[in-house]
Amino acid sequence: MLHIDKIIQDVRKCKIVPENDIQELCFLAQELLIQESNIQLVDPPVTICGDIHGQLHDLLRLFKISNEPPHTKYLFLGDFVDRGFYSLETFLLLLCYKVRYPDRIFLIRGNHESRQITSVYGFYDECMRKYGSANVWRYCCDVFDYLALGAYILSGASADGGVLCVHGGLSPAIETIDEIRLIDRKQEVPHDGLMCDLLWSDPEENIPAWAVSPRGAGYLFGYTETERFLFKNNLSLIARAHQLVMEGYKEVFDGGLVTVWSAPNYCYRCGNVAAVLTLDDNLNRNYTVFDSMLQDCSEIPSKKPVADYFL
């Protein structure tokens, strides 16, 4: 029998979890996640978190500030792994909470929840270093394929429309939320198409409609397209992550879209603060900004982060 609470205690202390326990945890998580929709319905109040990128100690600080699960309901917008030194522990902790409290924590897929990206930007190497094989990495990548592509937050107490949450942004090929529900999400993130756009696209204030993204995947989208999507889908807000914001969060397009970033001092050197967005029962917004967790030098491995990638 899997002891979830013990795994939670161990990963919080950065202790190695037996490979067999990780395999069983990943299977349990898949059984839960497969029951969720591509766009998972989440009732408010909820706290929305952006990229974490393996910064375990900052995730623990986030939980300390906003309360531990299950006391607070959380929605994480992807990019749990890569860049930071504790990607595995970060992802395992979130999976444990998902299995332990399935209705109090929701995880959606980011562009880094991908075999190709994690092979280059840290997570694969971390698993190899800690376990001497790629098995644990494969178990986690299999879970990635089951993660939802977004979430929809709706309040019966608010007449202003719901909130759509995705990792990246919009797609020129998607006009309605229902179209996202028809995507076959159980696959590696493709290089183009609807699923790719949701995970890779970015808002851009200086363009009227659509433009090619400099990332090499997804699109840039402007005010007009955002307003059109909000109106057509009766939305008051699109909440997304995916881009470093030095102030922790940034609202654009007359408050119709917000970027939330939850990895303070990203890559242990960017100097940014982080934030989470809490929506109350009426979908009123409250941002909590926090700094990086001060860590003992012995807690950070000497291995340097990999090369810059789309900061």
Give the tens place of pLDDT for each residue, 22-39.
999 999 999 999 999 999
- Terminal-residue alpha carbon distance, the chain: 41
Asked if residue 108 lies in contact with residue 151, where contact means CB atoms within 8 angstroms, the answer is: yes
Between β-strands 257-260 and 249-252, what pairing exists: parallel, antiparallel or unpaired? antiparallel
| Residue 216 pLDDT exceeds 80 | yes
Mean pLDDT over each residue of the chain, to the nearest integer? 94
Structure token digits, residue 71: 């006391």
pLDDT band of 310, cuts 50, 70, 90? very low
Asked if residue 239 lies in contact with residue 213, where contact means CB atoms within 8 angstroms, the answer is: no
Span 79-93, pLDDT tens digits: 999 999 999 999 999
Structure token digits, residue 184: 């076959």
Residues tagged active-site = 112
Span 48-100, pLDDT tens digits: 999 999 999 999 999 999 999 999 999 999 999 999 999 999 999 999 999 99
What pLDDT does residue 305 have? 45
Q: What mean pLDDT comes out for the span 152-176?
A: 92
| Residue 295 pLDDT exceeds 80 | no
Span 105-159, pLDDT tens digits: 999 999 999 999 999 999 999 999 999 999 999 999 999 999 999 999 998 766 6
Is 19-293 a CATH 3.60.21.10 domain? yes
